Amino acid sequence: MAEIRNISFLLKKCYTGKRQMESFMEYNPYSPLFIKSILKSKALRLFSSRGQNYLIDRNYAERIVSLVPEGSIVFEVGSGLGALTYLLQFNHKVYSLEIDKGIYNLLKGLLKSPNLFLLNEDFLKFDMNSILEESLFFISNLPYSVAGEIIKMFIDASQFKEGIVMVQEEMLERMLARSATGQFSVFSILCQFYMEIEKLFGVGRKSFFPEPSVDSAVVRIRKKDVEILQKDFYDFLKKAFHSRRKTIINNLRKYGFNEAVFEKLDLSYRFRPEEIPVEKWRELFIYYKGNFLEKLQ
């Protein structure tokens, strides 16, 4: 009887271990243990330099997904291991781009939904005309190194009107920087000129795997109704900021600006570019367009 009891105990232990292993391997993008295991099984590595710091706090993931308007078709940049993608697919049609071929193949094998269209693409090279949707809700955990370029593409693409992005706190400070501060730049002007930007809540660094060295913020972005093409405005801003140490008139004199123009615009020509508030840049561009740019065309 003792031997039978021992065999029964061993079989039960093996069965329990098998169940635990199966449970462990169930899809769970919020578990560091699952992430480590699945990456190891596919011989994949994550690189913080590529922005591969994945959200692992399901509470934050659910909170972000709840901000997506009902009935919206979602366009996600950076599927990762699907912390947002997994939740979005239940109530939304989702186009999700992932640049990393290995992560894309992994996620494609894990998530199966008729609402989900996974694409192994680089958003910075992606042709938005290939998505035959009139309106898309943008969502992304923006990698710091390319966040600026992604924001500019969001502004340019006609399908996007609003979105939710997660950015590093430092990036948000750049987006919202005011004139006459060290972080005010061409990027700050573009963000504030073309978008309404609202910080919704912060997300601590411990909510990501691998853990980054900085905290993040979830931000709502909405396009303003602006008739000025971003390309023309951006080219003008680059000219105006060509030398930050020079005054604005020295940077723009060869484009038709003089002391009288600045006086008419109620703006000191002795200002450096970073000292000029966002609202004045529209007036400067309109003068530049009418007195220089259109003469070239």
Cα separation, 234 vs 190, in Å, equals: 7
SS3 134: coil
Cα separation, 287 vs 264, in Å, equals: 11
Cα separation, 35 vs 53, in Å, equals: 12
Beta strands 74-77 and 54-55, pairing class = unpaired
Give yes or no for a contact between 111 and 89, defined as CB atoms under 8 angstroms apart: yes
CA nearest neighbour of 191 among 233, 159, 158? 233
pLDDT at 1: 52
Largest CA distance in the chain: 106
The structural domains of the chain, ordered by start, are 48-223 (3.40.50.150), 230-296 (1.10.8.100)
Q: Within the chain, which residues score under 50 in pLDDT?
A: 4, 6-24
Strand order in 136-141's β-sheet? 116-119, 94-97, 74-77, 136-141, 160-168, 216-223, 195-203
> What phi, psi does 146 have (nearest 5°)?
-125, 10
> What phi, psi does 9 have (nearest 5°)?
-65, -45
SS3 181: coil
How many C-beta neighbours within 10 Å does residue 152 have?
Answer: 18
| Segment 166-175, tens digit of pLDDT | 999 999 999 9
Residue 203, beta-bridge partner list: 216
CA nearest neighbour of 241 among 206, 211, 285? 285
Cα separation, 42 vs 62, in Å, equals: 28
How many C-beta neighbours within 10 Å does residue 100 have?
Answer: 19
How many C-beta neighbours within 10 Å does residue 232 have?
Answer: 13
Cα separation, 200 vs 164, in Å, equals: 9
> What is the reported pTM?
0.88
Give yes or no for a contact between 265 and 290, defined as CB atoms under 8 angstroms apart: no
Q: What is the DSSP letter of 60?
A: H
